[in-house]
Amino acid sequence: MKAAVLEAPGRLVVREVATPEPGPGDVLIQVVAAGICGSDVPRVLVTGTYRHPLIPGHEFAGLVAAVGPRVDATWLGRRVVAAPLIPCGRCPQCVGGHYSLCDDYDYLGSRRDGAFAEFVVAPAANLLPIPDGVPEEAGALCEPASVALHGLWQVGVESGDRVVVLGAGPIGLLATMWARILGGSWVGVVDVVPAKLALASRLGVDACLNAAERDPAEAVAEATGGDGADLVVEAVGVPATQEQALRMVRKRGRVLYLGNPHGTLAVPEATFARILRRELTIKGSWNSFSAPFPGREWTTTLEALADGRLNALGLVTDRFALQEAPDVFQAIAQRGSTHLKVLLIPGQHQAHCARTGARS
Amino acid sequence: MKAAIFRGLGEMTVADVPEPDVVEGSLIVRVNTCAVCGSDVRIFRRGNPRVRPPQILGHEIAGVVVAVGRGVAGFGEGDRVAVSADIPCGRCEWCRRGLQNNCVQELAMGYQFAGGFAEYVLVPALAVEQEVIHHIPGDLGFDEAALAEPLGCCVNGQDISKVGGGDCVVVIGAGPAGCMHVQLAKARGAAKVILIQRSPARLEFARRFGADAYVSTYHEDPVQRVLAETGGHGADIVIVATPSAEAQEQAIQMAAKRGRVNFFGGLPPASKAISLASNVVHYKELSIQGSHGSTPRQHGIALQLIAHGVVDTKSLVTHAFPLGEVGEAFAAAERGAGMKVAVHP
């Protein structure tokens, strides 16, 4: 099969590899669409995966092409999404249902072969059927959508909340969508790239603030009558926004840190003091999983895709064939890139299978 | 092909796995010898953040090229080669300065890339480009050539300590590394080499390597002996080639004024801190150095030293096991049964 193989950090090569066989409990999935995650960019270009060679890719959907021993044969041919995390099931975290925090997990696309390929093997326990009418491409957005939802459920969204999201990337924009769905009355997003803010505006975010033009904390204060937001979601991961988040939130408000950090944060004394003086709640969130595995984050996402509440496909700005993957990574890594969610379509020449979702 | 698969702490089994594919820029080597390193045993017992099971360990490799990827120049099928361990990225600040053993990526055969405890090993394109693989000169044996990797680390250590003409060098630890250090120091012109070891048995074995004095710490105080051997002057260079905190602390006492003390071996996690006699360092104007790994160039130099008979590594391979007995090989290495244990897949 064709696959984008990470042979060493910085070397992504598309070539023929043996098609894997599903073992006991596993299925073989024909990948219809696989999304590139923000975390894949440094993984492919700089740090590498846990071992080489390895096929990256952990946001995907497809068709079950084969089942291994001890797997219910009715999965064959079904359209599915698969959670990429394979928890150990035995550690205290797993036993408590906190699979994201498993002490010894395996993971498609970083610790074992993932979905930037025509086929990928995943445990049947990780599968969820894609509802009729939902395209596989939307299914490929299930993982990041679940990440955003997992975070918001942990920090809590209350009816009427005024929510500010820092970062108009895929996770941030999904957070803006969920914030509305969960009852938020007003949602603002902050970024420095005009094209991303324009997309956010087209997707229906109430306020799109450019932090390069005006201090976003000031803009949020103005929009909230001086109070600050009820909830701030930091979905960038740089020190500037990590600090800003603490200055945009009202007294007794909540701050959710979702963005994987890059860089060391020095918190000015006055900013840190706000945590005490305003009795803030600070919450960190990781991944997307809960009991029963993979979690209601995933099933709720699929329901919201099916009934149209969640316009995840609106985030897709580009679709590329698998062989373009090495160039695509270079393009995404450029400063000022306006790619939002990029999908790799292994069967690009078979365009018909991705659109309608009418298959069973 | 058959390969020893590390599956988890204390778990390694020989299994049949697909042979690696030769891809553009890479080489496939049929492994004749892969020697066991202390670090392999540590990965096996305690794990390592850079090793994600299942993985094939082993990074002291010598064998024959059986497949050459498109675009590879300088290697042909049938070439006898030695493969080093550390794979530089070639792009970071350290690699560009020629200090590839300090590469920020810390990639290595037998860590993020499958290693040599298997019938075949893929030498990835990055490793071929970075010259991590060298031709074995003449008809030098595979066992001897496989030890070019640890000898390369000794070359790095002695480059850092500038071991040279007329120096008095103390080597603490008569394991394989210590024995290579003794020979290397002599070759570099050391006037006097003193080898220190606890067990008399290991010391006896090491007599064939031509140190000028052998000290067993069971029987005498090594610091006193070094001072006696040097007329009270002390050693110009002390290389601590044993994972002992006490040896590192004593090394300072043995060093002459302006001497260099090289912590060549790392300490186990349980004993990471030592008590440093700081005033001794101050008043004797000592240098404390660390060294680890090797650059591809040093691996090539090591291979030449072995080929030209300057360093005898053949005697250091005292045990050999087929791949099917890799468990016994690791057990022998763990209990320090002899010197180097080789696996012949």
Q: What is the CATH number of the domain that holds B179?
A: 3.40.50.720
Q: What is the pLDDT of residues A52-104, one digit of tens each?
A: 999 999 999 999 999 999 999 999 999 999 999 999 999 999 999 999 999 99
Q: Specify the DSSP class assigned to residue B44.
A: H
Which residue from A15, A17, A52 is facing B124, i.e. has the nearest CB? Answer: A52
Within 10 A of A349 (CB to CB), how many other CB atoms are there? 7
Q: What is the pLDDT of residues A321-336, one digit of tens each?
A: 999 999 999 898 887 7
Residues B174-200, mean pLDDT to the nearest whole number: 96
Q: Judge: B107–A9 Cβ closer than 8 Å, yes or no.
A: yes
Domain extent for B216:
162-290
In a domain, B157, yes or no: no
User: Please, what is the Cα angle at A337 between A334 and A342, to 5 degrees?
Assistant: 105
CATH of the domain at B133: 3.90.180.10
Instruction: Write the single-letter amino acid at A272.
Output: F
Radius of gyration of chain A (CA): 20
Domain stop point among B267, B290, B313: B290
Q: What are phi and psi of A101, to 5 degrees?
A: -105, 15
The answer to whether A36 and A318 are in contact (CB under 8 A) is no
CA–CA gap between residue A46 and residue A303 (Å, rounded): 37
Do the strands B287-290 and B255-263 form a parallel or antiparallel pair, or are they unpaired? parallel
A13 close contact with B: CB closer than 8 A: yes
> What pLDDT does residue B272 have?
73
Please tell me whether residues B44 and B183 are part of one structural domain.
Answer: no
Please tell me whether residues B113 and B127 are part of one structural domain.
Answer: yes
CA–CA gap between residue B310 and residue B159 (Å, rounded): 16
**Minimal CA–CA distance to B133: which of B119, B117, B121, B144?**
B121
In a domain, B156, yes or no: no
**pLDDT beyond 60 at B139:** yes
CA–CA gap between residue B123 and residue A50 (Å, rounded): 17
Q: Specify the DSSP class assigned to residue A47.
A: I
Domain stop point among B247, B262, B290: B290
CA–CA gap between residue B108 and residue A48 (Å, rounded): 13
And the tokens for A263? 């860089």
What's the number of domains chain B is made of?
Answer: 2
How far is the CA of A152 from the CAs of A149, A262, A289, B3, in angstroms? 5, 22, 13, 46
Which positions in chain A touch B52 (Cβ < 8 Å)? Answer: 50-51, 111
The answer to whether B1 and B36 are in contact (CB under 8 A) is no
Q: What is the pLDDT of residues B64-113, one digit of tens each?
A: 999 999 999 999 999 999 999 999 999 999 999 999 999 999 999 999 99
A21 close contact with B: CB closer than 8 A: no
CA–CA gap between residue B180 and residue B196 (Å, rounded): 14
Q: Of B6, B23, B56, B93, which to mutate for an interface test with A (greatest number of A Cβ within 10 Å)?
A: B23
CA–CA gap between residue B250 and residue B293 (Å, rounded): 24
Please tell me whether residues B52 and B116 are part of one structural domain.
Answer: yes
Q: Specify the DSSP class assigned to residue B4.
A: E
For residue B111, give the chain A residue with the closest CA: A51
Please tell me whether residues B187 and B244 are part of one structural domain.
Answer: yes
Residues A245-251, mean pLDDT to the nearest whole number: 98
Q: Judge: B107–A11 Cβ closer than 8 Å, yes or no.
A: no
**pLDDT beyond 80 at B269:** no
Please tell me whether residues B22 and B114 are part of one structural domain.
Answer: yes
Return the H-helix or E-strand segment holding A107. strand A106-107
CA–CA gap between residue B161 and residue B314 (Å, rounded): 26
Please tell me whether residues B8 and B126 are part of one structural domain.
Answer: yes
> What pLDDT does residue A349 have?
56
Q: What is the pLDDT of residues A185-217, one digit of tens each?
A: 999 999 999 999 999 999 999 999 999 999 999
Which residue from B18, B91, B112 is facing A52, i.e. has the nearest CB? Answer: B112
The answer to whether B302 and B155 are in contact (CB under 8 A) is yes
Put simply, whether the predicted model's pTM sits higher than 0.90 gets the answer: no
Which burial class, exposed, middle or buried, applies to B126 when counting CB atoms under 10 A from its CB (0-12, 13-18, 19+)?
buried
Task: List strands edge to edge, sheet with A162-166.
Answer: A207-210, A186-191, A162-166, A229-234, A249-257, A281-284
Q: What is the pLDDT of residues B23-80, one digit of tens each?
A: 999 999 999 999 999 899 999 999 999 999 999 999 999 999 999 999 999 999 999 9
What domains can you pick out in chain A, each with its CATH number? 2-144+288-355 (3.90.180.10), 147-284 (3.40.50.720)
Beta bridge partners of A283: A256
Radius of gyration of chain B (CA): 20
Beta bridge partners of A249: A229
Which positions in chain B touch A10 (Cβ < 8 Å)? Answer: 89, 91
B263: pLDDT confidence band, cut at 50, 70 and 90? very high
Q: What is the pLDDT of residues A272-300, one digit of tens each?
A: 999 999 999 999 999 999 999 999 999 99
CA–CA gap between residue B135 and residue B113 (Å, rounded): 21
> What pLDDT does residue A356 have?
36
Domain stop point among B274, B290, B306: B290
